[in-house]
Every structure is written in C-alpha cells, then in structure tokens.
Chain A
C-alpha cells in the first residue's frame, strides 16, 4: 500500500505494520483464508486437515510478528469453549462406546473426546487463518480490493463497514449502560433482574443506531457514494503476477482437497 499515513489508532483488530503479510494483497489473504476454511472443514484425514492450515497460519502470523497476539486471542476465545466441548462430548457424546475412565458416576467416552478434539482443532485453525486476514488487513483496504475486483460498491461497503462500526456501537452501548444506571436501572443481580434490564439497554441502542443509519446514508450520498463515475482510490493496493497465480493455485488446491475429502469420506463409510 502507498500514500496513506500510519494511523495512531484504528479501533479494529487490525494491527498496523509492514510485514510480508501486511504487504500481501487483501484478495490473496482473503483467498488463503477461504480456501483454508474449505480444507479445514472438508479435507481428508479429519483433524490433520485442520491442523495443517492452522499451523501454517500460526507460522505465517509468527513470521509477521503477530504470533503471540494471535495465540493469545485464540486462547482467550477458545479456552472456555474447549472446556465445554470436552465436558459435554466426553460425558454425554451420543457415539460414546469406549469408556476411558470414570469420574464419580459419570463415564468419559473416547469417541466424545475425539470429536471434541476435532471440533476444537477446527475452530482454532479457523480462527488462526481468519486472523491472518483480520490482523493484517484494514477493512477499508479489503473493501477497496473487493470493489476493484468488481464487487458493487454498496455490497463491498455492506461487508466492510460492520467491522469498523462495531467499535462505535460498543462505545454507544457503554454510554447507554452508564446513562441507564445513573437513572436507577439495576443491571446487576440475578438472572431475572438482568433480563429485565436488557430492554432499556438494547432498545435505545437499536433505535439510535437506526436513526444514525439514515443520517449516515445522507452523508454518504452527499460525498458522492452513488456518483455515476468509476471510483478511484487514494491508496494503491499492490498486486503482483505471482500473487494472482498463488490465488489461482490456492483455489485449485482447495477444490482438489475438497474432492479428496469427499472421496475419503465415501471410502471410510463403505
């Protein structure tokens, strides 16, 4: 990317930098992420198909200096989920036949543990490959890449804007929470009290967001969002022949892996 100054704050997961991952064209990273997801969920070999893309993504992030952050984010998001998965499937998995050990009156089944392991590995891999895109690509650059690729501007905006508007909504939700608390709303306590507090918190957030959407759309129109001209861009997204080839290669690889996965499942079931 060229011309744009470095931001001091972005409000998204995006981490400014100049690593090789940052320099890759957003479409290359998007293609990698999407193809990796195909491999993770449909490749042959079960957890191995998930583990390889996950490790590849982690090593790429590590090389870009974002490995620790990615690992920390993944751990935070997945740790509690993994505990629940292993608990539920270990104890109550419908396919549990081989009992590994007993915990009091409960039996822990090998099949359930294996299934929980597969799901956890898949989720971790999915998260890591997504982070290669999210941590190194600003949403505006992704939208630009999609627009330059030929996606209608409105659709590209629709895809990209939630990533940037989310932090704004969080700030607003915090403000509404503070205001309602100042007006005596009890947001702590038992489940019933919390449920009761939900509407006064959510309703103003939804209504004010809807009002904002109208004003924002007017502002966008005034700034030529629907102008009948071909858009240009301040920042140049550098794309290369090798990246274009790599994208095609990734797509081909994911199709082959998908077909192999289908064949492998058919073979395994027969």
Chain B
C-alpha cells in the first residue's frame, strides 16, 4: 500500500470558478523524498493541504477524485484522524506554535497530549524529537525567544514527536536564512532515511537535485512533469514556466550550444555532474 495515493484530484476553492488543482494523480511510497516544484499559484500549497487531510474537511470547496493517506480516504475522515499519520510544517514558524506553552519542551508535548499518549511515554519521545532537530540544549527556553531557524526546527520537532508516516514541508525554509535552511534540510535528509515519506514543497532546486528521489512539477494546478530530478529539473518546460533551471544546467546548456558539452550526455543538475561533463568533453 503506498503511503500516499492521489487519483484524479481536482479541487476548487469556495467562491472561485477556476480549479486550484486539476486532475492530479500520483503515488508516493514509504521512505520516498518527493519534491514539489512550480511557480506561484501553481497549486503547491493546495496540494499540501489536501495531502494533510485538511482539504476537504476544513475548506468547503468542490473536490473531485480521491486522496488516500496511509490507506485512509481524506473525504471519509476528519483532520484529527490524520494527526499522528501526517505531519505538516508550514512557512511561518511562529504560527505553528500552540500559543499555549512556555518552554520548548512543553511545546513539543502538545501534539502527544492531543493524541492521548500516556504521560509516561512522553518524555522519551520528546527527548528523541529534540535530539532529531538539535534543540535539546534549548528545551528550557520559551519558544518565543528562539531564532526563526530554531522556531522552525521546533515546529518540525512538534510534528516529528507524533511519529508521522508522511511528513509534508510546505516552503518551510522560505523565511529562513541560509544557516536556518541548512538546519532544516539536514533533519529532512536524515528523516527520509528512516522510512518516513517526505513531501517537500521547495524553491531551493540545488538541494532537491541532490537529495530528492523524485520531483513533481505543477503548473496552473496540473502535474506537468513527474520523474527523477535529473529529468524534471532539466526539462525545457520547467525553464519556461518560471521555476527555471539550476545554474549548472544553464552553464551546461550554454556549453552544449558551443559544442563544449558532450552531445550524448544529458544536462546536469549538480556541480559534480557538471564538472564531470565538461572534463569528459574532450575525451568522448
């Protein structure tokens, strides 16, 4: 059974005549790191909400098709049923704090309390989540005194502590500085290796190229590309639709036009591939 099974998903927000998602279909297996890319208004956040089970339950628009998370159809279950199965981390870290807790430690416990986890189990799980995101030393601090990167890691820990099978990160690093972004990426990389299905909506293509197993490109609510990073991120369609190409791909394409890139070699998405391509040009 796939962790996520989306078939023919079309969703229109209330009051809108244009669907935000059009006939979206894909499956994601356990442990897969699937990146979603696309320009603004492509439907990335709407898809994230649908995958988290929040659409259609909390947004009363028109939904066609089916979304199943861990085998549960999102139309037949409330968001509460998905808590603990799916974790969603949004862009603004402050808004993801419960607003009810005065230490990092207590904040992480909030989700466990809602799930009715026995008190005796909580400290171990909280410690583990704090270790995963590197916040153990800050557990006594107020969530509101942390930096943006630390708050986002706290938001991540607050979701991870619930041991979700699917983790969705919707532009989680958008408000962070490079260091904060690397902190989040580091955690995500290690998570995917533990069997969690990670869906990451991200504009940082360089990281996607190196770490995602698969990339889904959206445009105007439709899936226009679906495949491994080296295929999707070098597609001419992606270049035109506002997402663009990585600098490595652009340099290699320029080299290709001047016969400096091997004709039989695909365009690269990483520095390593780029260097290898240019190096091999004279030899091939």
Binding site for B on A (CB under 8 A): 3-12, 14, 138-140, 143, 157, 160-161, 164-165, 167-168, 212, 215-236
Residues of A within 8 A of B117 (CB): 232
Residues of A within 8 A of B100 (CB): 139-140, 143, 157, 160-161, 164
What's the least CB distance linking A165 to chain B, in Å? 5
Residues of A within 8 A of B82 (CB): 222
Instruction: Please choose the segment from B106-114, B219-227, B239-247 that sits at the chain A interface, where 4 or more of its residues have CB less than 8 A away.
Output: B106-114
Tell me the bound Cα distance from A228 to B79 in angstroms.
10
Residues of B within 8 A of A225 (CB): 80, 83, 114
Tell me the bound Cα distance from A160 to B116 in angstroms.
20
Tell me the bound Cα distance from A232 to B112 in angstroms.
8
Residues of B within 8 A of A12 (CB): 102
Tell whether A224 pairs with B52 under 8 Å between CB atoms, given A7-B103, A9-B144.
no
What's the least CB distance linking B56 to chain A, in Å? 13
Asked if B62 CB lies within 8 Å of chain A CBs, one says no
With beta carbons under 8 angstroms apart, the residue of B54, B113, B162 that contacts A221 is B54
Task: Tell me the nearest residue of chain B to A165, going by C-beta.
Answer: B99
With beta carbons under 8 angstroms apart, the residue of A11, A230, A235, A236 that contacts B144 is A11
For B, the interface residue count at a CB cutoff of 8 angstroms equals 52
Residues of A within 8 A of B79 (CB): 221-222, 226
Residues of B within 8 A of A228 (CB): 78, 80-81
- Could you tell me if A216 and B105 are in contact, using CB atoms closer than 8 angstroms? no
Residue of B81, B87, B100 with most partner-chain A CB within 10 A: B100
Tell whether A233 pairs with B113 under 8 Å between CB atoms, given A140-B100, A161-B100.
yes
Residues of B within 8 A of A226 (CB): 78-80
- Could you tell me if B142 and A7 are in contact, using CB atoms closer than 8 angstroms? yes
Asked if B30 CB lies within 8 Å of chain A CBs, one says no
Listed from nearest, the 9 A-B pairs whose CB atoms lie closest are A224-B83, A224-B114, A229-B116, A227-B80, A234-B109, A9-B142, A219-B96, A223-B111, A215-B95
Residues of A within 8 A of B110 (CB): 223
What's the least CB distance linking A74 to chain B, in Å? 24
Residues of A within 8 A of B58 (CB): 217-218, 221
Tell me the bound Cα distance from A230 to B155 in angstroms.
23
Residues of A within 8 A of B106 (CB): 4, 140, 234-235
With beta carbons under 8 angstroms apart, the residue of A8, A157, A215, A235 that contacts B142 is A8
- Could you tell me if B116 and A236 are in contact, using CB atoms closer than 8 angstroms? no
- Could you tell me if B114 and A223 are in contact, using CB atoms closer than 8 angstroms? yes
Residues of B within 8 A of A165 (CB): 99
What's the least CB distance linking B120 to chain A, in Å? 10
Instruction: List 16 A-B residue pairs with CB atoms under 8 Å apart, sorted by A's residue number.
Output: A5-B103, A5-B140, A6-B103, A7-B140, A9-B142, A14-B102, A139-B100, A140-B100, A164-B102, A219-B97, A220-B98, A222-B159, A223-B162, A228-B78, A232-B119, A233-B113
Given contacts A4-B105, A8-B140, 12 further A-B contacts (CB under 8 A): A143-B100, A164-B99, A222-B79, A223-B98, A223-B158, A224-B162, A226-B78, A226-B79, A232-B113, A232-B119, A234-B123, A235-B106
- Could you tell me if A10 and B95 are in contact, using CB atoms closer than 8 angstroms? no
- Could you tell me if B90 and A215 are in contact, using CB atoms closer than 8 angstroms? yes
Tell me the bound Cα distance from A255 to B90 in angstroms.
50
Residues of B within 8 A of A218 (CB): 49, 54, 58, 88, 90
- Could you tell me if B102 and A138 are in contact, using CB atoms closer than 8 angstroms? yes
- Could you tell me if A222 and B102 are in contact, using CB atoms closer than 8 angstroms? no
Residues of A within 8 A of B86 (CB): 222
Tell me the bound Cα distance from A212 to B109 in angstroms.
22
What's the least CB distance linking B158 to chain A, in Å? 6
Residues of B within 8 A of A222 (CB): 52, 54, 79, 82-83, 86-88, 159
Residues of chain B in range 159-188 having any CB-CB distance to chain A below 8 Å: 159, 162
